[in-house]
A and B are shown apart, each in its own frame.
Chain A
Amino acid sequence: MDVRQYADLFLTESREHLTAFNQLLLEWERDPAATGAVGGIFRAVHTIKGMAATMGYAAVADLAHRVESLLDGVRRNERTANAALLDLLFRAADALERAVAEAVAGGDPAPGVAALLAELERETSVTPAAAPAPAREARPSAPVILPQTGPGKGRTVQVTIRPDAQLKGARALLVLRRAEGLGAVSAVTPAPVAFEQDGFDGRFSFRLDAEGANEAIARALAAVGDVAHVEFADEAAAAARAAAGEALRSRHIRVDLRRLDELMNLIGELVIARGRLHAIAARFAEPDLHDVNGQIARLAAALQSEIVAARMVPVWQVFDRFPRMVRDLARQMGKQVAFRVEGKDIELDRAILDEIAEPLVHLLRNAVDHGIEAAEDRVAKGKPAVGQLVLAALRERSSVAIKVSDDGRGISREKVLSRARQLGLLDAETALVGDEALFRLISRAGFSTAEKVTDVSGRGVGIDVVTTAMRALGGAMEVHFEEGKGSTFTLRLPATLAIVRALLTRVGDELYAMPLTHVAETFDAKPADVQKVQGREAVLLRGQLLPLVRLRQVLGAAAPAVPPRGQPVIVLELGERRTGVVVDALIGQQEIVVKSFEAPRGMLSVFSGATILGDGVPALILDAGGLV
C-alpha cells in the first residue's frame, strides 16, 4: 500500500488539529485552570502523532510524541501550567506546523524543529516521571480480571509470542482469554500484571484444564495471532494467515478544487445554453418543447445549487487561524487585545474565502498596530486597558458581511488630512472633508499615516489592497470610525462567485448587468423630481435625499432626451451609503455567469467582469463599489 496517496489528507487534517491546538492553547492561556483544554490539545497532538507515524514522517511523530509527554506531565499534575510551559507549547505548535509542511514536501526538518525537539527532550526528561511516558500508561491499579494463579488441574501450556509482535502483553492477555474459553486456566506465570511491564518478553505459561487434543488447543490459541509457539511437551504449533482482497469502491473521495472550478464553468455554460433554449422555446407553441425546456431548466438549477453547495465552506476554515496571529501580534506590539470571532459557521464560496484571507490579515494587523492603543494610553483616556477586537461574519440579504471592529483610536481626521496635503492629494485650504472623502483618501494606493514603518503594518500598503481585493470579488468595503472610539471595517461579499443573480439594464444599445448583491430597489424618477443639491443631481425618496449617477454620463454616452414619464433608477446600497443609478431601461432579473475579466489599465473602474447572456449577447457587469 502506498501511503503517499494520503499525503494531502494528512496535511489537511494535521492543519486542522494544529489550528485546534493553537486555539486551545489560547484558551488555556486565558484560564490556566481550564483542564479541558489540556485534554483537547492532547487529543489533537496524539492524532497528529498517529497519522505521522502511519505516513512514516518520523520528525513529526517524534515532535508530537514529545509534546504528548509534556502534556501528560500536566495531566498527571507533575507539571504546572506556567508562562514558560505555555510558551514552549506555542513554539512546539509552530514547530509541528513546520515539520508537517516539510514532511509532506519531502524536505529535511528545519534546524528550528531539531532545536525545539532537543528542548522538549530536555524538558520531558527532567520530569519527576523520568522516562517520557505516553498517555496514562502507568496504571498499576488497573483492575486485572484474571483467574487465580496457583496449582491447578490439566496440562501445562507454554506460549511464546512472536518477538516482532507489538504490545506483547496485550497479545498474551488475548491468548489467556482464548484459553479461558476452552477451559479453566490457572497458575499463570508470570502473573498477568507483569504483562504490562516493559520487560515482558512474550513468554508465559499456564495450566489449562480442558478437553481436546494438544493440536486442537494449539491451533485455537495460535489463532489469536502473533503467537510464535504453543508448546505442551516439545510440540509446537504455528499459524499464519494471508490476506486476500479484491478491489472495492472506497466510500470517500476528495476532489481537486480545480475540478470543482471546471465543473462550475461547465455548469455556467449550461446555464447560458438553458437561457438560449428558453428564448427559442418561447417562439414555438409546442407543448413537448416547453415540457423538456422546463425539465432542463429544473435540472440545471438543481445541478447548479448542488455544485454551489459543494463549494461552500464555513468561514472558520480561515478565521480559526486568526486568534493565534492576533495574540502574537499583540505581544509583539506590546498591546493588550481581547479578540473575539463571531459567526464562524457562516458559509462562503471557497474561492471567495481564499481571497479574503489576506485582506483580513491586513485589517486585523492594522487594528492591532494602529487601531488599539497601548494599555497606558487607553487607561489615560479612560478606556479599559484591554482593547477589544472583533471579527464577525453575518449573513445579509444576498450577501455576507465580514466586520473587523476595534475600540481603538479610530482614524484621525487631522492625520489623514495632513498626510493627504503632504502627498499633494488635497490642497492646503480644504478643511472640510466628509467621512466619504476621507475614506477615499485612505483607500488610495500608498497612503499610510503610520508614523513609523513597523514590521507589522504601515509599509505604505494599506486599505487600497483591501478595496482592490473586494472589487475583484464583486464585493465592497466600507469604513465607520469615530476618532478616539474605534473603527469598523465592513466587507460585503456575494456568498458565491461564478453565478449571481443580476438586474439587466440597457443604456443605448448595450446591456449591463448589476449584481443584486448591492441592489436595494428600483423606481422611476420623473424629471420634475430631480433636484440639484451642491451641484449634484438628487431625488427625494421617502423623505431622504438620494444622490443620482447617470450611467450614460459615467459611460461617456451622449445624454438623450429624458422621457417625461421618467427614467428607471436602480438604488444601490453599500452599508449606509446609497446612490441611485439612472439607466435607460430595466430588462429584468437573470442569473448570470461571471467570467473572469482582464480589465486593461485605465479602463473605467465601474466594471467588475463580463458575462454572456442566454441569447449569446455579451454584457458587462457593473461594480456597485465603483458607482456609489
Chain B
Amino acid sequence: MGHRVLVCDDAIFMRTMIGDILAGAGYEVVGEAETGLQAVERYKELRPDLVTMDIVMPDMGGIEAVREIVKADADAKVLMCSAMGQQALVVEAIQAGAKDFVVKPFQPSRVLEAVQRVLG
C-alpha cells in the first residue's frame, strides 16, 4: 500500500522533484504546501503518513511548522529537507520532533532511504 505524503517546499521545482521521486517509488503525494502555515493546515486536514518539510519558507518556517504539527499529532512523521550548511537548523528541527532529514541536492536513493526509515 502506498503511503500518503504531504510535500512542503516553497519552490515548485523542489516540490515537483520530490513528488516525482516519491511517486516513482509508489508513494502517493496527497498534498503540497508552500508555506509553513499551509503545511500545518494541510497536515491537519489530510493526516498524511509522512511530511517532507523544507526549512526556509515564507509565512512560518519549516521548524516552527514541525512544532505545530507535532503539537497536533505526537506521532507525526516529518522528514526535513535541508540545504548544506544548515546543521544547526536541522538539529533544532529534530529537537522540535522531526524524524529524519535529507540534504539538498537530493539524491533520489537517499531521499527514499530516509522516507523508508521514517515510515519503517
The CA of A247 and the CA of B108, in the complex, are separated in Å by: 14
Closest residue of chain B to A247, judged by CB?
Answer: B24
Tell which of A53, A143, A248 touches B24, judged by Cβ atoms closer than 8 Å: A248
Closest residue of chain A to B92, judged by CB?
Answer: A142
Contact A49 B83 (CB under 8 A): yes
Closest residue of chain A to B104, judged by CB?
Answer: A50
Contact A53 B91 (CB under 8 A): no
The CA of A166 and the CA of B108, in the complex, are separated in Å by: 15
The CA of A1 and the CA of B108, in the complex, are separated in Å by: 7
A225 and B26 contact, Cβ closer than 8 Å, known pairs A13-B11, A251-B19: no
Contact A173 B94 (CB under 8 A): yes
Tell which of A43, A53, A138, A249 touches B88, judged by Cβ atoms closer than 8 Å: A138
Q: Mark A388-426, 1 if CB is under 8 A from B, else 0.
A: 000000000000000000000000000000000000000
A50 and B92 contact, Cβ closer than 8 Å, known pairs A246-B26, A248-B24, A251-B29: no
Closest residue of chain A to B88, judged by CB?
Answer: A139
Q: Return 14 A-B CB contacts under 8 Å, by A number.
A: A40-B58, A46-B83, A49-B83, A50-B11, A51-B13, A54-B17, A56-B105, A144-B91, A167-B103, A174-B100, A224-B117, A243-B112, A248-B2, A250-B23
Tell which of B13, B25, B91 touches A170, judged by Cβ atoms closer than 8 Å: B91
Contact B120 A223 (CB under 8 A): yes
Contact A252 B95 (CB under 8 A): no
A53 and B82 contact, Cβ closer than 8 Å, known pairs A13-B11, A248-B26: no
A51 and B14 contact, Cβ closer than 8 Å, known pairs A139-B92, A142-B92, A241-B113: yes
The CA of A136 and the CA of B85, in the complex, are separated in Å by: 10
A53 and B104 contact, Cβ closer than 8 Å, known pairs A47-B10, A138-B88, A251-B19: yes
Q: Which residues of A are interface residues toward B (Cβ below 8 A)?
A: 1, 3, 6, 9-10, 13, 17, 40, 42-43, 46-47, 49-51, 53-56, 133-139, 142-145, 166-167, 169-170, 173-174, 177, 195-196, 223-225, 241, 243-252
Q: Check B75 for interface membership: any CB of A closer than 8 A.
A: no
A243 and B113 contact, Cβ closer than 8 Å, known pairs A9-B16, A43-B10: yes
Contact A243 B108 (CB under 8 A): yes
A9 and B101 contact, Cβ closer than 8 Å, known pairs A49-B83, A169-B91: no
Q: Mark B7-23, 1 if CB is under 8 A from A, else 0.
A: 00011111011011101
The smallest beta-carbon distance between B35 and chain A, in angstroms, is 10
Interface centre among B21, B24, B112 (most CB of A within 10 A): B24
Within 8 A of A (CB), among B87-118: 87-92, 94-95, 99-101, 103-106, 108-109, 112-114, 116-117
Q: Which residues of B are interface residues toward A (Cβ below 8 A)?
A: 2, 10-14, 16-17, 19-21, 23-29, 56-58, 82-92, 94-95, 99-101, 103-106, 108-109, 112-114, 116-117, 120
Contact B113 A145 (CB under 8 A): no
A170 and B94 contact, Cβ closer than 8 Å, known pairs A50-B11, A54-B17, A138-B88: yes
A225 and B113 contact, Cβ closer than 8 Å, known pairs A54-B106, A167-B101, A196-B91: yes
Tell which of A3, A47, A246 touches B56, judged by Cβ atoms closer than 8 Å: A47
Contact A6 B26 (CB under 8 A): no
Contact B95 A145 (CB under 8 A): yes
Contact B13 A13 (CB under 8 A): yes
Chain B residues near A6 (CB, 8 Å)?
13, 16-17
The CA of A49 and the CA of B109, in the complex, are separated in Å by: 21
Chain B residues near A166 (CB, 8 Å)?
84, 103
